[in-house]
Structure 1
Amino acid sequence: MPNSCGPRRSRLLLAVFVVVAGLFPDGVVVVLGREYDVLTNNWLVELNHEGGERVARSVAADTGFEFVAPVMGSDSHFHFVHRGVPHARIRRSVPHTRLLRKHPHVKSAVQQSGFLRHKRGYKPLDNIPVNNVAQPLAAVSSHDNFAHGKKLPLPTDPDFEKEWYLRNTGQSKGVPGLDLNVVEAWNMGYTGKGVTTAIMDDGIDYLHEDLKYNYNADASYDFSSNDPYPYPRYTDTWFNSHGTRCAGEVSAARDNNVCGVGVAYGSMVAGLRMLDQPFMTDLIEANAMGHMPNVIDIYSASWGPTDDGKTVDGPRNLTMRAIVNGVNNGRYGKGNIYVWASGDGGPNDDCNCDGYAASMWTVSINSATNDGRTAGYDESCSSTLASTFSNGKSSSHDAGVATTDLYNNCTASHSGTSAAAPEAAGVYALALEANKNLTWRDIQHLTVLTSKRNSLYDSNGVHKWQLNGARLEFNHLFGYGVLDAAAMVDLASQWKGLPERFHCTAGSVTDEREFSFGQNIHMAIDSDSCVGTENEVNYLEHVQAYVTLRSSYRGTVTMYLTSPMNTTSMILSQRPNDDDDKNGFTRWPFMTTHTWAEVSRGTWSLDVVLEPILGLKNNHETGLFKEWTLVLHGTKTAPYANQPLAVEGVHEKLEMVSRAHESGVVMV
């Protein structure tokens, strides 16, 4: 994703006279005065002919570099590091780059910039609870051990009763029945057997009694230390417990008298350690997201750009290539599933400004509390597909997410959308066991069709539940509702696949327009959905609005996209902390899932509105609009025409969608 879309998060503040060699807790090297790019000691090196790793290692030895690895399994692109260059510096190492480029086998060499990526939902522990560890038992994780539909005894794990997100009986002041409905999925015979989920994070304590039998060592790697052992680095604050907690939510073993149980306790979990370093690079992200895509089924990410309400950032070029390659070619062509935490910036941020969560290639998951409300840290955006759970009411000690913790411990205080994404990954592992042939698109359609409103609501009364033009119920906070594991595996087991997906550029508005308070912009594009071409899209999945504009205070800009079937998506909400007055947005792809399954042909409109910010001294802001390009993604033929109708709770949805198509703008 182009870095020109927002402020450069890899910039540093420099001091006039003093250079501080250390790193402050927020990951910024401070010097005073001017701003500079952060440059790392990593290089992307491209060879000018075939030769692969053997030639790359020779080049590294000739030039004084250290060979690290191929980039996404390439025979021509490689990751080099130079130990004589600091991990972070403010000037490019021109002599080192020149030395590489002069080598007869090198086509290009690019020193890698560094940027910040933050874990979501981490909260310091005041007290570290210690579990009672029994003798290790083999994980109970076999679909073959019980008959389909037979009711199983509940797990005997000591913390299972604290796992209200798995079975909510009203504990911790929750709403009974507001959970992921996984017990019913287990009773149907599904535990995630044969599925591997990679936790892209700060490592996994793979020696933990609740994880070690479900740990996929072959699929794991440490991209921070460049070795196969992604064990977390010790700190006094236990800061690097994040990945271990996420892993337990997915694959913690059942009935072994240790902690709780994972959503997909029969599945495998892999550790991809890549967050525990001062600065992220495009190379590290790309290699993690493209690691063993035919072995790893699901990649779970509980991190992203800074959740400060003013950052606009997303994946760089190599990382985007890795994700696109994963969905197109991973799992032997069925596509990897990338699950992303929507963000912890709260109501003053918008996850459509996070290029990872807002990507149509990822499944963006928000969180809800155990009584059905959105948590105070939850971001909202039109790209969110569904929700799981984070923590409950703060007054209850055990209202957090109960899971595994470092050094064979347990915790009941995991929280944030960090906790939500792995729960979704666990549900998807159950679905993939139910049907190994599911594609990445199938997973998204199953999510839309089987998620439920349940007891979810906006306690502030702002975001209501609505029906889109295809009669599917959605909410700006929760997407299409909370995941229902039993409904998903039931539908997945009967799923017949989808028509081919196409991409239609529906039109553009390119004339510059000024706007200000009280002088909003309304634009329209009349789309024929690329009818008669190879890119015809009549039934929608994702819709993107590529927008270029700037304003004197970016956080006052809000945008609303309305479909031909009269569904309005707020594709950008107000962000009071975003005081940018220079960068604005440059072809930033604002995305909505709210028009899912709608008929696409007709008039689309975009409204750009400046909304005053309470407390802002000068609310006389202005802006300049430059471009809007509308891109439609979906199918030429009706997506659910051949799908089964027997699944309880889904039959009605499919019938309503069919009737909406019959009365829509176009029928194919």
Structure 2
Amino acid sequence: MVDIKSWIFKDCCLVFSLLCISIVGITTGDQEVLTNSWLVELSEGGEAAARDIAKRAGFSYVSPVLGSDTEFHFIHNAVPKTRFRRSILHTRKLKSHPFVKRAVQQTGFVRSKRGYKPLKGVLLSDLHINNPEIGQLINDEKDVVIGKDPTDPLFDKEWFLKNRGQSGGIKGLDLNVEAAWGMGFTGKGVTTAIMDDGIDYLHEDLKYNYNSEASYDFSSNDHFPYPRYTDTWFNSHGTRCAGEIAAARDNDVCGVGVAYDSKVAGLRMLDQPFMTDLIEANAMGHMPNIIDIYSASWGPTDDGKTVDGPRNLTMRAIVKGVNEGRNGKGNIYVWASGDGGQEDDCNCDGYAASMWTISINSATNDGQTAGYDESCSSTLASTFSNGKSTIRDAGVATTDLYNNCTTTHSGTSAAAPEAAGIFALALEANRNLTWRDMQHLTVLTSKRNRLFDPYLKHFWQYNGAGLEFNHLFGYGVLDAGAMVYMANHWKPLPERFHCTAGSIKKEMNFGTNEPITLTIDTDACKGTDNEVNFLEHLQAFVTVKSSYRGNIVMHLTSPMNTTSMILSQRPNDDEHKNGFTRWPFMTTHTWAEAPRGTWTLRVENIAGKNNEYDDGLFREWTLVLHGTRDPPYHHQDADEENQTKLFKVKRMHDMAMKN
């Protein structure tokens, strides 16, 4: 568990200068957008005083912020929800009260759904129930039972659950959920919150698996997160994601969810012109002891030129969630890696690139990366989205608005909920899993399978610990059967530590095809309270700019000779003033490696589409190691297929401990 005292308060300077990201390159325009929401902090009086102050000042009291008894959310209904000037008089009126320490009008920023396409669904009356197939699940040694396929009418089209080669796919290239079901795990007792545009909780395939207690509408500030109607069905996104996780089994409606006995909660928060830090934070911190998993299929605009991430309150919500959520075991945050394609990089998305979220990319039904997939070194694993667009029913089949079904859900929006469903199966198998356990299980049980890059840019390789990874797919496609088996036998991990390995502050110029190379030699805090001998996440906080930011490319090489591309070329990013300011580029590629030795950062400007010369200026690099002092896997057990992987890592760890 992240020790919030030693990590945040003990090293306050590091947190607020590094973790609370410097937000640059926001593409909502040059003019600041203001909303009708205020963050109000009181010196005393608590909620009763907050309600009274709001009423006297003409505001509406909304709620505490993250359960605080000093910070509160107010709105003013007479102020437009979107405006371009600060409401100074309203702020002054709040500040005039002696209990008010500060009152901050919330700025608005853009958050986009991923994979949205304005296509209507399929009417239930148009569907025909398929005859169930009787099949035998593969692994008898894992206590897998013989069972029937689900009888739901769209199950045969859910190739990501059982790939028989339909819709042009490759047989066996799926999530292996039947093995987990066969072991008796279907998600019972686990709740996943869909942070999105609402859920059609009246849908026949969702209503019995809907957790109303844990649901909330942060757009309307009520307990009924039903999607707002539009002619284009724009607000079908959350309902589609929910069905992938928890659509009921054998009820003759649509398909079946990955964790069909689990619950879903709706947190409606995307359905507004602009997002605020308050809404994001309150959604991510909503009922953290009832909600186990938060699934997000959205983020900063995937336009290849935005660099953006969580603000202060939202960062606090996520850190609080992994420290205190699930009664101290930590909430699981699942994030869609992004749909910006080859011209974007998800390490420029501060949500997907956070070490406290599990970033999920997608693959097609024949193992390729989809054209819209972003790549980055922070991606941990992959699931599936749509297959070939030219083939009928190659999309993701799931629930749709107004009791309908669809077979056209797509994008990494479709990938993240599949991962959330698998994590729900693992949590049922072992309710004691922490947020860190889930990330370790993801690394250890994901498979290369048939995944490949059709553009031949990113190949599979082994890191220094013997773990196979790919820049596009992370550690491979999630395997529900293997994850549930290992979760059921999982032993607690050693304590996690955080080591500032070194820092370089020096102005250095670099031009097009004139790279600079910097090195940091570290003992990984050996002999101190923060000693790290085996890595989990690695962060490089970098300050750098260029006359064309999108042409900056950076590679980071570990002492065990694993190279991560922590920033790729983004040809549409023409920003030239600010660049990156202490931006936390993160890699998971060095997972389980020994970090002691020389780390090398290579920074360069790659020639752009116009072949113009670009001037770059490097200012700072700080290297932060996150991991354990003791070997994490020596007492772990796995199924037969994963024992070889574990053996390689344990052998490397034994050698590292001897040195």
TM-score (structure 1 length as normaliser)? 0.93
For residues 454 and 26 of structure 2, what CA distance do their matches in structure 1 show?
35
5 Å-filtered alignment, 1:124-203, equals 124-125=118-119, 127-132=120-125, 149-203=144-198
Alignment correspondent of 2:46: 52
Counterpart of 2:644? 652
Give the corresponding residue for 1:29: none
Aligned twin of 1:68: 62
Q: CA offsets, 1:408-467, max 9 Å, x none?
A: 000000000000000000000000000000000000000000000000000111100000
Amino acid at match of 1:421: A
Pick one of 471, 481, 485 that aligns with 1:486: 481
Contact 1:366 1:478 in 2 (8 A): yes
CA distance in 1, matches of 2:210, 2:174: 26
Question: Could you tell me how far 1:667 is from its partner in structure 2?
Answer: 3.9
Alignment partners' CA distance in 2, 1:425 and 1:171 = 24
Indicate the RMSD between aligned Cα atoms, in angstroms.
1.3
Tell me if structure 1 keeps the 8 A contact 2:21–2:582: no
One-letter identity of the residue aligned with 1:64: G
2:366 corresponds in structure 1 to 371
1:571 and 2:566 aligned: yes
Q: In structure 2, which of residues 406, 416, 426 is the aligned counterpart of residue 431 of structure 1?
A: 426
Matched, 1:281 2:273: no
Note the C-alpha offset of 1:582: 0.4
Q: Distance in 2 between matches of 1:472 and 1:611?
A: 30
Q: Is the 8 A contact 2:21 2:584 kept in 1?
A: no
Equivalent residue number for residue 31 of structure 2 = 36
Matches within 5 A, 1:198-277: 198-277=193-272
Paired position in structure 1 for 2:354: 359
Shift of 1:659: 1.7
Question: Does 1:585 find its partner at 2:580?
Answer: yes
Q: CA deviation at 1:133?
A: 9.6
- The answer to whether residue 512 in structure 2 is matched with residue 512 in structure 1 is no
Residues 101-110 or 628-637, more deviating = 101-110
Unmatched runs of 5 consecutive residues or more in structure 2: 1-18, 128-141
* 2:104 equivalent among 102, 110, 129: 110
- Partner residue, 1:23: none
Residue 7 of structure 1 and its aligned partner are, at CA, apart by 1.6
The match for 1:634 is 627
Matches within 5 A, 1:318-329: 318-329=313-324
Contact 2:513 2:607 in 1 (8 A): no
1:3 to partner: Cα distance: 5.9
- In the alignment, which residue of structure 2 is the partner of 1:87? 81
Deviation digits for residues 242-289 of structure 1 (CA, Å, limit 9, x no counterpart):
000000000000000000000000100000000000100000000000
Deviation for aligned residue 1:148? 5.1
Q: Distance in 1 between matches of 2:114 and 2:146?
A: 36
Matches of 2:427 and 2:26 in 1, distance apart?
A: 39
C-alpha distance in 1 between matches for 2:582 and 2:538:
14
SS at match of 2:641: coil
- TM-score, with length taken from structure 2: 0.94
Per-residue CA deviation, residues 298-329 of structure 1 (Å, 9 max, x unaligned), is 00000000000000000000000000000010
Distance, in Å, in 1 between the alignment partners of 2:323 and 2:266 is 23
Residue 20 of structure 1 corresponds to: none
**How far apart are 1:132 and its partner, in Å?**
3.2
- Residues 175 and 479, structure 2, Cα contact 8 Å, conserved in 1: yes
Q: Is the 8 A contact 2:121 2:407 kept in 1?
A: no
Q: Which residue of 2 aligns with 1:397?
A: 392
Aligned counterpart in structure 2 of residue 495 of structure 1, from 490, 498, 506:
490
Deviation at 1:106, TM superposition (A): 1.2
How many Å separate the matches in 2 of 1:656 and 1:464? Answer: 20
CA offsets 1:448-490 (integer angstroms, 9 cap, x no match):
0000000000011110000000000000000000000000000
Q: Counterpart amino acid of 1:175?
A: I
Q: CA deviation at 1:663?
A: 3.6
Cα shift at 1:613: 1.8
User: Which residue number in structure 1 is paired with residue 132 of structure 2?
Assistant: none
Do the aligned residues in 1 keep the contact of 2:360 with 2:381 (CA within 8 Å)?
yes
- Do structure 1's residue 622 and structure 2's residue 615 form an aligned pair? yes
8 Å Cα contact 1:133-1:258 kept in structure 2: no
Number of the residue aligned with 2:71? 77
What is the CA-CA distance between 1:660 and the residue it aligns to?
1.8
Please give the residue correspondences for 1:271-310 in structure 2 after superposition, counting only pairs within 5 Å. 271-310=266-305
1:620-648 CA deviation, whole Å, 9 max, x = no partner?
1010000000000000011101112x412
Cα distance in 2 between the residues matched to 1:377 and 1:400:
14
Aligned-pair CA distance for 1:397: 1.6
Alpha-carbon contact 1:168-1:175 (below 8 Å) kept: yes
Once the two structures are overlaid, the 10-residue window that deviates more, 272-281 or 82-91, is 82-91
CA separation in 1, counterparts of 2:79 and 2:389? 46
Q: Do the aligned partners of 1:453 and 1:480 also contact (CA within 8 Å) in 2?
A: yes
1:420 counterpart letter in structure 2: A
What percent of counterpart residues are identical? 71
Name the aligned partner's letter for residue 383 of structure 1: S
SS in 1 for 2:406: strand
Inter-CA distance 395–437: structure 2 relative to 1 (3 Å threshold): same
Check conservation: 1:5, 1:587, Cα contact below 8 A. no
Pairwise mapping of residues 607-618 of structure 1 onto structure 2 (< 5 A)? 607-614=602-609, 616=610, 618=611
Mapped contact 1:210–1:258 kept (Cα < 8 A):
yes
Taking the aligned partners of 1:88 and 1:199, their CA distance within structure 2 comes to 25
Q: Does residue 1:339 correspond to 2:334, yes or no? A: yes
CA separation in 2, counterparts of 1:9 and 1:403? 32
Matching residue's letter, 1:7: G
Distance in 1 of aligned mates of 2:447 and 2:85: 52
Change (3 A) 1:122 1:613: same
Give the conservation status (yes or no) of the 8 Å contact 1:4–1:583. Answer: no
Question: Structure 2: how far apart are the matches of 1:186 and 1:656?
Answer: 29
**Aligned mates of 1:662, 1:482 — CA distance in 2:** 28
Q: 2:6 is matched with which residue?
A: none
Q: 1:4 aligns with which of 5, 12, 22?
A: 22
How many Å separate the matches in 1 of 2:233 and 2:523?
56
User: 84, 91, 96: which one pairs with 2:90?
Assistant: 96
C-alpha distance in 2 between matches for 1:569 and 1:197: 32
Question: Secondary structure in 2 aligned to 1:605?
Answer: strand
Q: What letter corresponds to residue 370 of structure 1 in structure 2?
A: N
Instruction: Report the Cα distance in structure 2 between the residues aligned to 1:336 and 1:112, rounded to whole angstroms.
Output: 26
The CA distance in 1 between the partners of 2:624 and 2:567, in whole Å, is 17
Superimposed CA distance per residue, residues 358-409 of structure 1 (whole angstroms, 9 cap, x where no aligned partner)? 0000000000000000000000000000000000011112000000000000
Cα deviation, residue 55, structure 1: 1.3
Question: Distance in 1 between the 2:627 and 2:68 partners?
Answer: 31
How far off its partner does 1:8 sit? 3.3
* Distance in 2 separating the partners of 1:374 and 1:549: 30
Per-residue deviation at 1:5? 3.9
Specify the code of the residue in structure 2 equivalent to 1:637.
D
Query: Displacement of 1:4 after TM fit?
Result: 3.5
CA drift at 1:518: 2.9
Counterpart residue number, 1:605: 600
Other-structure match for 2:139: none
Q: Which stretches of structure 1, 4 residues or longer, exceed 4 Å deviation after superposition?
A: none
**Contact in 2 for aligned 1:352/1:591 (Cα 8 Å):** yes
Work out the CA distance in 1 between the residues paired with 2:339 and 2:563. Answer: 24
Query: Is contact 1:248-1:404 (8 Å) kept?
Result: yes
Q: Residue 270 of structure 1 aligns to a residue in which SS?
A: strand
Residue-by-residue CA offset, 1:81-102 (whole Å, 9 max, x unaligned): 0011111111111110000001
